[in-house]
Each structure stands twice: as structure tokens, then as C-alpha cells.
Structure 1
Amino acid sequence: MADSFSSGTTYYNKVKAEDWAGNVSPVSLSDGIVVDTSGPQLVNQLYMSTTELIQNPSFETDTYTVSAAVCDGSDPTSWSLNADGCVKLQMSSAPIAAHDSQYILMSGDLSQTVSVTSGGLYRLEIKVGYPQVLDDHHKAIDGYVSLGLDSHAFHLDPDKCEGRCEIETENSILWNTLTFYHTAVSNSLTVVIGTRFTTSDMRLAVDAVSLVRVYYSQQFSGQPVEPSTETTALFLPHWSSVNSVWHFEDPQTVIVDYMWAVGTIPGGTQLQNFVSVGKLNHGVAANLALTHNATVYVTVVATNLAGLTTKVNLNPVIVDMTGPEILDLSDSSGLDIDYQTSYTIAANWAIRDNESNTDHCVWAIGSIPGGYDVKIFESLPALASYSVSHGVNSVDYPAPYKFYTTVRCYNTLGLFTVAYTNGVTVVSPNRNDGIQSMQILADSSTYRFASDQCLTTSDNIRLKWDLEQTDTLIKKYKFGVRDLTPDPEYLVTVNCTDDNALVNGTSFNDTSLNITSDNSTSYLCNCTYENMTIAGNLTEGENGTGSFCIATTWLTNTSAIDRTVTERMSPESDFPLFAASLHDVSVITSRNVSISVTPVDIFDAEMQGQDSMVIVSPPGPQIVGGMVIPDSNLTSTNLTVDWTGVFSSYWSDLVYEVTVGSKIGASNIVQWQETTDTTMTLELSNSEVKEFNLSLVITAYDQCGLYNTYNSELFPINLP
């Protein structure tokens, strides 16, 4: 007999018998034995068929109709429901479904039979979860999936996703991904999805059911490739589940058993001890207590018929209890904006998930944060960053209208994050709005209000204005103060005798004239001065010593007055202003100034503004003379008093307040009577005496509210 045998070689035993008589029996041959010295080996990679065997896999074939019934009256196309079961087709514009826009709620058994190849390996993937809206009496889900005679139980979060499936005021579905493998034993396979109870107390959300054939070697070009091991999980703070799949092969002997364990270190069993699953190449461990960012290790031991084993550590999985991070979500394709004139609504953002890979994002446009009434959610593939846009009908959303972009991003674990922009307002590009009127609020040191033509303070300006349209288009205001006092003029006399003097159109040096002092003939000439041509007269020099041109003109001294324009910008605000105070302006008294206010819109363009001219308060009325004392002997009971020339003022329209009494400080005849005239006729017929003295107190007020008071001397009056 040989000392060693070659692994993988089949050896046979031959036996024959011979008796004492020398008779020999026919040779008998054993069925052979395969020599196997190595354990099972992991398959390098899987090749997936592109042919989907399930009909109506995401329940999009049937048309959704709104109904208050708990169950639909018919089964989904290509599916069969048991007699006690219940199924309800669901649809939402929000990204509720795991695939496309429709999914089902079911209880009982839902099945479909498909054609397969006997001996072929098939992969079933299914998305399951709790309904979007749960009744108070809804039970924790216990479900199962059957592939032929193989049945696999699964359990969902016993807390029924409470606190994890809410997005603002709207619930969502946290989809669990379940993966199972099955080797067909005939040419047909019945797939069953079921729940433990067949009442509304336990309804299961189902979507994206997929069954494809799997090969260990490439069958055709372009066939999708998958790794030979895969671990999917759902991590929640109070409950987690791990679903692992592995693929081994052994060319020599049959694999008879798989054991798998889950731990927090490579090869560890801290979370689940080694459990045998027989010949199944997948396992589910649920109700695990994990922490965010921890690492989960799955270990698989494969045993063949020869008793040889192979131990493999699957790729570790980082515990992720958070959805992807949505970064820098902005209105527009660049930096965030608050206003625009275009009805193309754009947004951009970046995505990051340090623990898991991003699966996809969806985005929508609404009239409120999180809304999707303008544009329903659209799915986008996994990218590092996104830039999207959508045209909106201006007729449906007249300007100004504010739009919000909402983004939801999902990782490969099914966890999601929602974010929305602060909104962008579309405004009309053709606006005539702005400031309709403006008023300068004058301060007066007396009870008499100053006119709006007068600025009573030289360092503080108060103003208010009215807007034609009160909305948030105005970002800030520009205020301006400018001196309008006329520039002074001065006389310039030019004496020119060189070539720049022209006499009647002829150069001065080319003009031969004999002009005497008594010559009455006038010759016009022109001189050039600082690039100006000035008209003048040709004049004879003293003692007949020749002629020269003398030209005169008035020029303006543009540098005599400071023309500095004071410009100030208000702080940016989301709300329009209607009044302002400008401090520390320091304008010069007795000067005419222009005060302006101009709105600046959100595009930094100036809108319609207003300005007003005022005079910075000149000195108040001055007493420059005395009142003419009337004749004391009256011919009637009427007395006319005249204070013309008593006051001098910048203003020509003073207001006078007159008080008349029979003694100094008295007001028994006239008290605080106002007039704009410089004379007043007093009626003295009511006087009980014929001889008395009069005293006048006259206060003059100007447009700025400034005043001065004149007190007359006592003068006698004799009534007739």
C-alpha cells in the first residue's frame, strides 16, 4: 500500500475471492473514496444574473387609488394572498417607499411562484419595516420568509421604530434589508412573505423584493460582481440586528455545516456564541446591544464531510446609528442666496458618512420647510456632492414667492438625515417700488414746531419716509447729506497782447491799426484764459504806445465751499425701515443742504429714493430797531401799533405773538395774539378810563422755531 495519497484523487478498492478449490470470484469494485486534506474555501466572488425573476417586485404595476378601506379588494398583480391575509397598496410623493413610489402593507401570507433551475443558487433580497403610521395596538413584528421548504424567521425593532422614524411632523419608514440564499431542488420555487398574525395588529411594510440567480463563475460578459461575504445591519441605540451571508465551496467533499458567531473583537463571541445554521449560508442575529462607532466582527466556521474546517473572519462592520451628514446645503448652485429673479430653483450640498457608505439622496421643493408641494421628491445616486435645479411655473407662484429645498440622504444601513434650506424668494425683476415721500423731522426749542424747511440741529438729522411697497426686498438704506450753497463768483480781467488775441477774427500781431484815444470805432477781440475764450475790447495804450486786448468775465470759485458728500449705510435688515436718525453729521449753519435717503435692494441695486432741501438753522430773529410810539391823543378808540423794522431775520415770513397790557407784564388788552403782519389795530372802546399807559410785548418766531422778544416802553394813551 502507498505511503501517501494525493488530495483530490478518488481511490477505489477492488476485491475478489478464491476458495480452496481454486475457484476465483469476479472482481468487485467499491464506489471510491475521495482524499480530502483541506477544508472548505471561500469563493473568490459572486456573479449575479441580471434577470429579475420576481414579477411586480416593487408593487408599481397596479394603480394606486385613494380608499379608506383597510384592505384592498384584490391581490397585487403576480402575487397571491392567503384567505385570511390583508394587503393595502400605498403611495406617497415623499420618499417613503424603498424603491420608486409604491409599496404595500400586509398581514398573512403573500406568495409568488417562479421558474428556476434545479440545483441553481438563488439570492432573495427584501425590504421590510413598520408602517408609516402605527395604531396604538400595533404589535412588534414577527415575520418569516420561505424559499421552498426553507423558512427563515425575522424580527423587527420591538420598540416599533418609535423616535427613529419621525421627520419633523411627518413619519417615515426605516427599511430593514433581509438577504437569503437558496439552492433550488426543482424547476419551480415559491417565495412566501408572512407575518405571525393576520390582523391589523401586525401589518408589515414590504417593498423591493428581488430574486436573482447567483453563480460562482462568470457565465457571460458584463455580469454584475458581488463579494463572497456580506454583512448588513440595522443599528439602533436600544436594538440592533446583523444579517451575514457567506459563500464557501469544496471541490472534494460536501460542506455539511456552518457555524457563525458575532463579537466585538476578531473571532470573538461577545455578542453571539457560535451557532450552527446547518447548510444555510446566512444567519441573522437580532436584539443586540451595541454602541455607536463600535466594531462588529462576524466569524464563520465551515465544515466538510471529511470533518475538515475552515474559519474565516468576515469584514468588520462599524456600528452606525446616525444617518449621513448633509453639509453646506445652500439655495443656488453656489453660495447661499436669499433672493433671485429667476424661477429656476437650484440647490447644492455635500454628503459625508464616516461610518457607512451613502446609498442615495432625494430632494424636493416646497413652499414650507420640509414640504414637497412644488416639486415631489426625486432620487439621486450616491455622490460626494450634489448640484440640482428645477424650473417652476411663474403663473402658479407669482412673485414674491419663497421656495424651500428639502434633502433626505440615506446610508447603506437605511438610516437617513433630513435638511432643508432657509429658503430663496423669487422677486420680480421689474420693480418701481421705493420711497414715495420723505419728511425731515425738525426739533424746536419752543412750543412752536419748526418747519420742514429748516434743520434746527447741525449734528443730528431725524427723518421718516413712506414706502410704495412694504416687503423684504430692501436690504439697507443709503443716506446722503450735501451742501447746496451756491459757489461764490469773482471777476477776472485778462490783458493779452500775444498771439492768443484775435481782433475781428485776425491775429493780434497781424493787425495793423492806428487807434487814437478819440477814435470812436470799437474793435472786438478775444483772449484765451485757462482754456477759455473770453470776449473783450481792443484798447489803445497810454500815450499812444500801442494797443492791447482787455477781456473780463465772471468765474465761479468751485473750491470755496466744502462739497463733501456724507454717505452712510444702514445695517442690513430683513424688515424695511421707515425712520432713521443721522448723528454727528456736522453741517454748517445757514447753509442750504440736500438730505436724501435711497433704498438698496437685495441685489445691491439702488431703488427709487427721495431727497429734500433744507437750511441748517441760521441765527434766530434779531432786534435791530425800536417801535414807533404812536400819538398819545387818539381821535378814536382804535389804536394802530407798528413794529416794522424792529426785527431782522433770515426768514421773510416771521410769525409774531403780541401781548398788550396797561402796565408792564400785563395782558388785560391783548394776550398772545398771533399775526404775520408788522402792524395791529387795537380796539380800546372797552376801557373804563380815558387816560392810561400801554405796554407791548412782541415775540417774533422764525421757520426754525427760534424767537426773540421785544418789550416796548410804556407810552401814554388819551382816549377821546
Structure 2
Amino acid sequence: MPPVVGKVNDGADLPDQDYQSFTSEVSASWYFFSDTDSTIVKYFWCVGTSHNTTDCSVLEWLDTGLHTSFSRSLPTPLSGGTLWNKVYAVDAVGHASDVAVSDGVVIDTSPPETKDVAYLGDNLVKNPSFEVGDITGSTSSCNLVIPTPWEIDTASCIKVQAPDSPLAKDGHMFVSVSGSIQQTISGLEVGRQYKLTLHAGYPETVSNTHRSVDAIVTIGREVFSFTLDPNLCRGTCSVGDHSVVLWNKHTYRFTAVDTSLVLKISSSSRMMEFVLDHVSVQTVDYVAGQDSVDTEEHLVVHSVFLSHWSSLHASWHFEDLRCKVITRMTSIRNAKSLSTVAR
């Protein structure tokens, strides 16, 4: 009886490698070959560019003795593509096992590329700025009017705000939320990536003794959260003679798992209150250049500087078509001294 065929890993060590960056060396390891009638006396190993048991176009069959891992330098560097390692065993009486073939290793010699990201298409959120009919001032009663097509539950308190001064982030109105407000987002493409953006802040009427607000954002099975810190704006922020809402922009990305998903924005406690405006859901497409009317570069930086606090927000977009990006490193440096501020 011939030896029992085993398994082959790409790479000389465990675990099995799916990618390699070097082009002048091939390696493999194998295990689980066995022969109960006599004994295995040697292995043969080859490497090819086709997923079959016969192609050995990269490295011809090589007798490796009883070694169960092997590496070999190549006289001509590889230009890329996928390699498959193949091994069979031979026992003491000359019987050969079937050939075991690995699951392949991709030769990747190119680094990830920077990609601009374009947000294309219309905003899928209906009435994103909570506009209603002819309302002036701020409603003091809960749920007096609910902006269509937004919905609430009986435990929530929603107040439409239409101040005389231009406090809204977008349009003329916004809402204060204590509890939750939601809308069904339709027209999604399953498997497509989307950008969700909302603007939240403290109501201008909140006193200086207010506490932090924790909020939860859910869309489909995705759950996100954000926090409003009272130290960022103690109650009413003032600019000249006008009070303002310090709007905090929160951005999330999600992949659609259905054509319609419920977007729900809620405070973590009924005792917490925040204001909400300008909610959007847009498709995300990665492009090679700035050929869109609404395009961000691969590195986007936004900073806020006030007298009592400052913040720096950054996002970046990279793509590797051969293998997935597994590590990202960032650092912030002082432009004057070139010293590293954060890493």
C-alpha cells in the first residue's frame, strides 16, 4: 500500500501563509503523511503556478529526504501571481503517495496605495434637518410635532427647535432628543459600504451644571456610540452677543445587510438630552483620483481650537488589491520642532 497523503502549508513555518513579499525564495512545510506497512524514507517537493498535481514550473521535483519543511532560492525572481506547493511521500519499497497541494500563496510586492474616497449619490435620509411647518421658537412640550418621516416611541421626548438666531447646523430647525428617534432608510444595496454622519450637541438652554451625555446609534445590526463632554462647552457657548450650539460631527461606516435598515439615534438614559441635526447616509466609493464633486483625499484632518479645549480628528483611506491591510501606524508631529506629539 502507498503512503497516506498528508497536508501541505505554504511557508516553512506554521501557520500557513497566504501572502509573501519576497520574490526570490519559495518554502513549504508538510505533515500527516504516514505509512503503516513499511516506513516513509523520503519526500519530494515542487512548486508551480497552477492549482494541480503536475505543474512544477517554478521549482522542479526536489528530493528533500526526511525533511518536512524546506526552502529554496530561485535563480530568477518571481514577478507576482500565486504559487502552489506540492509534496508526495515515498516508502521503503518505493510506493509513492498521492500528491498533496497547498491552498496557494500570493506574491505581493507592492505596498498599499492611497485612495481618495468619494461620497456619491443622494442622501438617503429623508428630512435630514428635521424641518416641519411654520414653527417659530422652541417647543417646550414633548412630542408636540414630529418631523416626518421620523418616528419615536412613547417613552421618548422630542422637541422641535426653531430659534430666531441661526443655531441650526443645516436648515432652520433641529430637534432635542431625550430617548430615541428613528427612521427606516430604504434604497440600500446589500454588501455596499455607506457613510453615516450626524451632528449632535448640548441644547443652548442646558445649564452650566449639566453632565456628560452618552448616546447610541444603531443601523441594522451595527451599533455605534458617542459622548458629549460638558468640559467642551459648559452649557451655552457664547460668540459675541449670540449663543450657539457647539455641534459635534460624528461619522461612521457600515455595510448594508438589507435593502432597508432602521436608523435609530438615542440617549442612553431618559434623563439625558442632546440636540440633533443634519443626518446623512451616503454610498462610499474608493476612487483613484479626485473625479467627484464631493471627494475627500486619502488623509482628511479636521481640527477645532477653542480657548479651553482643542481636538484633532483624522481619517485615512488605503487599499491593497492583492492582500488585506492588517496594520496601520499614525503619528502627529509638531511642525516647528518636528517632535512627535502622539503616535
- Specify if TM > 0.5: yes
Corresponding position of 2:243? 171
CA distance in 2, matches of 1:143, 1:94: 26
Q: Which amino acid aligns with 1:192?
A: K
Q: Which amino acid aligns with 1:216?
A: Y
CA distance in 2, matches of 1:177, 1:187: 26
Within 5 Å, give how 1:7-406 maps onto structure 2: 8-19=80-91, 23-43=95-115, 45-61=116-132, 64=135, 69-73=140-144, 75-115=146-186, 116-135=188-207, 137-147=209-219, 148-158=221-231, 160-161=233-234, 164-168=237-241, 170-199=242-271, 202-217=272-287, 224-265=294-335, 269-270=340-341, 272=342, 274=343
RMSD, aligned CA: 3.3
For the residue of structure 1 that corresponds to 2:122, the secondary structure is coil
Relative to structure 1, the CA distance from residue 89 to residue 162 in structure 2 (aligned partners, 3 Å threshold; closer, same or farther) is closer
Relative to structure 1, the CA distance from residue 100 to residue 254 in structure 2 (aligned partners, 3 Å threshold; closer, same or farther) is same
Shift of 1:60: 1.6
Relative to structure 1, the CA distance from residue 164 to residue 65 in structure 2 (aligned partners, 3 Å threshold; closer, same or farther) is closer
Q: Which amino acid aligns with 2:227?
A: F
CA distance in 1, matches of 2:217, 2:314: 16
Shift of 1:97: 0.9
For the residue of structure 2 that corresponds to 1:210, the secondary structure is strand
Q: Which amino acid aligns with 1:126?
A: L
Deviations 1:148-181 (A, max 9, x none): 424243334525345743442x422222222233
Report the TM-score when normalising by structure 1. Answer: 0.33
Shift of 1:263: 4.4
Length, aligned pairs only: 267
Relative to structure 1, the CA distance from residue 124 to residue 68 in structure 2 (aligned partners, 3 Å threshold; closer, same or farther) is closer
Relative to structure 1, the CA distance from residue 206 to residue 158 in structure 2 (aligned partners, 3 Å threshold; closer, same or farther) is same
- The answer to whether the Cα contact below 8 Å between 1:89 and 1:102 also exists between their aligned partners in 2 is yes
Relative to structure 1, the CA distance from residue 237 to residue 136 in structure 2 (aligned partners, 3 Å threshold; closer, same or farther) is closer
Relative to structure 1, the CA distance from residue 157 to residue 262 in structure 2 (aligned partners, 3 Å threshold; closer, same or farther) is farther
CA distance in 2, matches of 1:100, 1:233: 24
Q: Which amino acid aligns with 2:306?
A: L
Within 5 Å, give how 1:559-638 maps onto structure 2: none
For the residue of structure 1 that corresponds to 2:210, the secondary structure is coil
CA distance in 2, matches of 1:144, 1:268: 37
CA distance in 2, matches of 1:179, 1:160: 20
CA distance in 1, matches of 2:180, 2:310: 26
**Of the two, which has the highest radius of gyration?**
1
CA distance in 2, matches of 1:97, 1:254: 41
Q: Which amino acid aligns with 1:33?
A: V
- The answer to whether the Cα contact below 8 Å between 1:92 and 1:102 also exists between their aligned partners in 2 is yes
Shift of 1:250: 1.1
Deviations 1:603-647 (A, max 9, x none): xxxxxxxxxxxxxxxxxxxxxxxxxxxxxxxxxxxxxxxxxxxxx
- The answer to whether the Cα contact below 8 Å between 2:146 and 2:158 also exists between their aligned partners in 1 is yes
- The answer to whether the Cα contact below 8 Å between 1:130 and 1:204 also exists between their aligned partners in 2 is yes
The runs of 5 or more residues in structure 2 that have no matched partner are 1-58, 60-72
- The answer to whether the Cα contact below 8 Å between 2:197 and 2:281 also exists between their aligned partners in 1 is yes
For the residue of structure 1 that corresponds to 2:287, the secondary structure is coil
CA distance in 2, matches of 1:247, 1:187: 26
- The answer to whether the Cα contact below 8 Å between 2:131 and 2:173 also exists between their aligned partners in 1 is yes
- The answer to whether the Cα contact below 8 Å between 1:133 and 1:171 also exists between their aligned partners in 2 is no
Q: Which amino acid aligns with 1:32?
A: G
CA distance in 2, matches of 1:237, 1:84: 38
CA distance in 2, matches of 1:18, 1:131: 79
With CA pairs under 8 Å and 6+ residues apart, which has the higher RCO, 1 or 2? Answer: 2
CA distance in 2, matches of 1:71, 1:11: 66
CA distance in 1, matches of 2:245, 2:236: 12
CA distance in 2, matches of 1:249, 1:139: 41
Relative to structure 1, the CA distance from residue 263 to residue 76 in structure 2 (aligned partners, 3 Å threshold; closer, same or farther) is farther
Q: Which amino acid aligns with 1:138?
A: H
CA distance in 1, matches of 2:191, 2:184: 17
Shift of 1:26: 4.2
Within 5 Å, give how 1:521-532 maps onto structure 2: none
For the residue of structure 2 that corresponds to 1:256, the secondary structure is coil
Within 5 Å, give how 1:420-459 maps onto structure 2: none
Q: Which amino acid aligns with 2:278?
A: A
CA distance in 2, matches of 1:46, 1:39: 18
CA distance in 1, matches of 2:298, 2:191: 19
- The answer to whether the Cα contact below 8 Å between 2:174 and 2:275 also exists between their aligned partners in 1 is yes
Q: Which amino acid aligns with 2:253?
A: Y
* Identity %, equivalent residues: 30
- The answer to whether the Cα contact below 8 Å between 2:181 and 2:264 also exists between their aligned partners in 1 is yes
- The answer to whether the Cα contact below 8 Å between 1:58 and 1:100 also exists between their aligned partners in 2 is yes
Relative to structure 1, the CA distance from residue 178 to residue 67 in structure 2 (aligned partners, 3 Å threshold; closer, same or farther) is closer
Relative to structure 1, the CA distance from residue 149 to residue 157 in structure 2 (aligned partners, 3 Å threshold; closer, same or farther) is same
For the residue of structure 2 that corresponds to 1:133, the secondary structure is coil
The runs of 5 or more residues in structure 1 that have no matched partner are 275-720
Relative to structure 1, the CA distance from residue 105 to residue 114 in structure 2 (aligned partners, 3 Å threshold; closer, same or farther) is same
Q: Which amino acid aligns with 1:255?
A: V
Shift of 1:8: 4.4
- The answer to whether the Cα contact below 8 Å between 2:216 and 2:223 also exists between their aligned partners in 1 is no
CA distance in 2, matches of 1:78, 1:28: 60
CA distance in 1, matches of 2:182, 2:130: 13
Report the TM-score when normalising by structure 2. Answer: 0.65
For the residue of structure 1 that corresponds to 2:212, the secondary structure is coil
Q: Which amino acid aligns with 1:135?
A: S
- The answer to whether the Cα contact below 8 Å between 1:129 and 1:206 also exists between their aligned partners in 2 is yes
